[in-house]
Amino acid sequence: MYIDKLIILLVWLFPIIFAIHDFEEIIVVEKWIAKNKQDLVHKLPKRAKNFFEKNFAMKTDQFSIVVFAEFIIISLATLFVFLNGFTGFYKWFYLGLFAVLFLHSFTHIGQAILLRRYTPGVITSIFFLIPYGLWFYKVVLQKNMISYSDIWISIPVGVILFALFFPALMKAASKY
Protein backbone atom coordinates (compact mmCIF):
# COMPACT_ATOMS: atom_id res chain seq x y z
CA MET A 1 0.00 0.00 0.00
CA TYR A 2 1.36 3.40 -1.04
CA ILE A 3 1.25 6.13 1.61
CA ASP A 4 1.47 9.66 0.29
CA LYS A 5 3.76 11.31 2.81
CA LEU A 6 3.02 14.80 1.51
CA ILE A 7 -0.71 14.36 2.17
CA ILE A 8 0.01 12.99 5.64
CA LEU A 9 2.21 15.99 6.33
CA LEU A 10 -0.38 18.47 5.04
CA VAL A 11 -3.19 16.85 7.03
CA TRP A 12 -1.21 16.81 10.28
CA LEU A 13 0.11 20.34 9.82
CA PHE A 14 -3.43 21.63 10.39
CA PRO A 15 -3.46 21.35 14.20
CA ILE A 16 0.19 22.41 14.35
CA ILE A 17 -0.35 25.57 12.30
CA PHE A 18 -3.53 26.29 14.27
CA ALA A 19 -1.56 26.02 17.53
CA ILE A 20 1.24 28.28 16.29
CA HIS A 21 -1.30 30.88 15.18
CA ASP A 22 -3.24 30.77 18.40
CA PHE A 23 -0.07 30.94 20.49
CA GLU A 24 0.55 34.34 18.89
CA GLU A 25 -2.95 35.41 19.88
CA ILE A 26 -2.76 33.99 23.41
CA ILE A 27 0.55 35.69 24.13
CA VAL A 28 -0.57 39.20 23.18
CA VAL A 29 -4.36 39.46 22.99
CA GLU A 30 -5.24 40.51 26.55
CA LYS A 31 -2.71 43.35 26.72
CA TRP A 32 -3.39 44.33 23.12
CA ILE A 33 -7.14 44.63 23.74
CA ALA A 34 -6.58 46.66 26.91
CA LYS A 35 -4.32 49.04 25.00
CA ASN A 36 -6.43 49.31 21.83
CA LYS A 37 -10.04 48.77 22.96
CA GLN A 38 -11.25 52.38 22.69
CA ASP A 39 -9.81 52.89 19.23
CA LEU A 40 -11.05 49.49 18.11
CA VAL A 41 -14.62 50.05 19.33
CA HIS A 42 -14.61 53.48 17.65
CA LYS A 43 -13.56 52.06 14.25
CA LEU A 44 -15.70 48.92 14.16
CA PRO A 45 -19.15 48.83 12.58
CA LYS A 46 -21.92 48.55 15.20
CA ARG A 47 -22.59 44.83 14.65
CA ALA A 48 -18.88 43.97 14.82
CA LYS A 49 -18.51 46.18 17.90
CA ASN A 50 -21.28 44.28 19.71
CA PHE A 51 -19.68 40.93 18.79
CA PHE A 52 -16.27 42.17 19.94
CA GLU A 53 -17.51 43.49 23.28
CA LYS A 54 -19.49 40.31 23.98
CA ASN A 55 -16.85 37.78 22.96
CA PHE A 56 -13.44 39.30 23.50
CA ALA A 57 -13.64 40.85 26.93
CA MET A 58 -11.87 37.86 28.45
CA LYS A 59 -8.64 37.13 30.20
CA THR A 60 -5.78 35.11 28.76
CA ASP A 61 -6.68 32.01 30.78
CA GLN A 62 -10.27 32.12 29.52
CA PHE A 63 -9.12 32.58 25.93
CA SER A 64 -6.69 29.67 26.39
CA ILE A 65 -9.60 27.40 27.39
CA VAL A 66 -11.35 28.20 24.11
CA VAL A 67 -8.16 27.62 22.12
CA PHE A 68 -7.53 24.31 23.90
CA ALA A 69 -11.04 23.08 23.08
CA GLU A 70 -10.67 24.19 19.46
CA PHE A 71 -7.32 22.39 19.29
CA ILE A 72 -8.95 19.15 20.51
CA ILE A 73 -11.74 19.49 17.91
CA ILE A 74 -9.26 20.19 15.09
CA SER A 75 -7.02 17.33 16.23
CA LEU A 76 -9.98 14.92 16.23
CA ALA A 77 -10.97 16.03 12.73
CA THR A 78 -7.36 15.50 11.64
CA LEU A 79 -7.21 12.05 13.19
CA PHE A 80 -10.50 11.07 11.52
CA VAL A 81 -9.25 12.15 8.08
CA PHE A 82 -5.90 10.46 8.66
CA LEU A 83 -7.62 7.17 9.54
CA ASN A 84 -10.51 7.32 7.05
CA GLY A 85 -9.40 9.61 4.23
CA PHE A 86 -11.40 12.44 2.73
CA THR A 87 -14.71 10.60 2.84
CA GLY A 88 -18.18 11.30 4.19
CA PHE A 89 -18.56 13.10 7.50
CA TYR A 90 -14.80 13.13 8.13
CA LYS A 91 -14.11 15.01 4.92
CA TRP A 92 -16.67 17.72 5.70
CA PHE A 93 -15.70 17.99 9.36
CA TYR A 94 -12.03 18.51 8.45
CA LEU A 95 -12.57 20.72 5.40
CA GLY A 96 -15.16 22.84 7.20
CA LEU A 97 -12.82 23.57 10.08
CA PHE A 98 -9.94 24.10 7.66
CA ALA A 99 -11.94 26.59 5.57
CA VAL A 100 -12.93 28.61 8.63
CA LEU A 101 -9.33 28.85 9.83
CA PHE A 102 -8.06 29.73 6.36
CA LEU A 103 -10.66 32.47 5.89
CA HIS A 104 -10.11 33.64 9.47
CA SER A 105 -6.49 34.42 8.56
CA PHE A 106 -7.70 37.10 6.15
CA THR A 107 -9.72 38.80 8.92
CA HIS A 108 -6.47 39.42 10.77
CA ILE A 109 -5.05 41.18 7.75
CA GLY A 110 -8.25 43.19 7.37
CA GLN A 111 -8.11 44.20 11.03
CA ALA A 112 -4.49 45.31 10.70
CA ILE A 113 -5.35 47.39 7.63
CA LEU A 114 -8.45 48.88 9.28
CA LEU A 115 -6.59 49.81 12.45
CA ARG A 116 -3.28 50.57 10.68
CA ARG A 117 -1.28 48.63 13.25
CA TYR A 118 -0.29 45.18 14.40
CA THR A 119 -3.23 43.01 15.43
CA PRO A 120 -2.94 39.68 17.28
CA GLY A 121 -2.64 36.85 14.76
CA VAL A 122 -1.62 38.89 11.73
CA ILE A 123 2.01 37.70 11.66
CA THR A 124 1.18 33.99 11.73
CA SER A 125 -1.67 34.58 9.26
CA ILE A 126 0.72 36.09 6.73
CA PHE A 127 3.66 33.75 7.27
CA PHE A 128 1.97 30.46 8.24
CA LEU A 129 -1.79 30.20 7.72
CA ILE A 130 -2.16 31.63 4.24
CA PRO A 131 0.90 29.95 2.67
CA TYR A 132 -0.02 26.64 4.30
CA GLY A 133 -3.67 26.94 3.27
CA LEU A 134 -2.76 27.68 -0.34
CA TRP A 135 -0.26 24.81 -0.38
CA PHE A 136 -2.80 22.40 1.14
CA TYR A 137 -5.54 23.32 -1.34
CA LYS A 138 -3.12 23.19 -4.30
CA VAL A 139 -1.87 19.69 -3.44
CA VAL A 140 -5.20 18.07 -2.56
CA LEU A 141 -6.78 19.56 -5.69
CA GLN A 142 -3.89 18.36 -7.90
CA LYS A 143 -4.15 14.87 -6.42
CA ASN A 144 -7.94 14.90 -6.99
CA MET A 145 -8.62 14.27 -3.33
CA ILE A 146 -11.11 17.13 -3.26
CA SER A 147 -12.70 19.39 -5.87
CA TYR A 148 -13.22 23.13 -6.09
CA SER A 149 -16.88 22.57 -5.28
CA ASP A 150 -15.80 20.74 -2.11
CA ILE A 151 -13.91 23.87 -1.06
CA TRP A 152 -16.96 26.08 -1.68
CA ILE A 153 -19.26 23.65 0.14
CA SER A 154 -16.85 23.42 3.07
CA ILE A 155 -17.21 27.15 3.78
CA PRO A 156 -20.87 27.03 4.94
CA VAL A 157 -20.14 23.70 6.65
CA GLY A 158 -17.35 25.42 8.59
CA VAL A 159 -19.55 28.40 9.42
CA ILE A 160 -22.20 26.02 10.80
CA LEU A 161 -19.58 24.14 12.85
CA PHE A 162 -18.26 27.47 14.14
CA ALA A 163 -21.78 28.61 15.03
CA LEU A 164 -22.38 25.34 16.92
CA PHE A 165 -19.10 25.23 18.86
CA PHE A 166 -17.89 28.80 19.38
CA PRO A 167 -20.74 30.25 21.49
CA ALA A 168 -20.70 27.21 23.78
CA LEU A 169 -16.92 27.43 24.17
CA MET A 170 -17.08 31.16 24.92
CA LYS A 171 -19.84 30.61 27.48
CA ALA A 172 -17.92 27.81 29.20
CA ALA A 173 -14.71 29.86 29.25
CA SER A 174 -16.47 32.88 30.74
CA LYS A 175 -17.18 30.87 33.89
CA TYR A 176 -13.47 30.69 34.75
Report the chain's C-alpha Rg in angstroms.
Answer: 17
Question: Is residue 2's pLDDT more than 80?
Answer: no
The whole-number average pLDDT for the span 90-115 is: 95
Kindly report, residue by residue over 6-40, the tens digit of the pLDDT.
Answer: 999 999 999 999 999 999 999 998 898 888 888 77
Contacts 24+ apart (CB under 8 A), 64-70: 64/26, 65/169, 65/172, 65/173, 65/176, 66/166, 66/169, 66/170, 66/173, 67/22, 67/25, 67/26, 69/165, 69/169, 69/172, 70/18, 70/22, 70/165, 70/169
From residue 156, give the alpha-carbon distance in Å to each of 6, 36, 69, 118, 159: 27, 31, 21, 29, 5
Binning pLDDT at 50, 70 and 90, where does residue 114 land?
A: confident
Q: Which domain covers residue 94, as residue numbers?
A: 5-174
Cα separation, 98 vs 74, whole angstroms: 8
Number of domains in the chain: 1
Q: Which residue would you say has higher pLDDT here, 50 or 94?
A: 94
Cα separation, 43 vs 39, whole angstroms: 6
Kindly report, residue by residue over 33-59, the tens digit of the pLDDT.
Answer: 888 888 777 777 777 767 766 666 678
What was the pLDDT predicted at 55?
A: 62
Does pTM surpass 0.85?
Answer: yes
What was the pLDDT predicted at 42?
A: 79
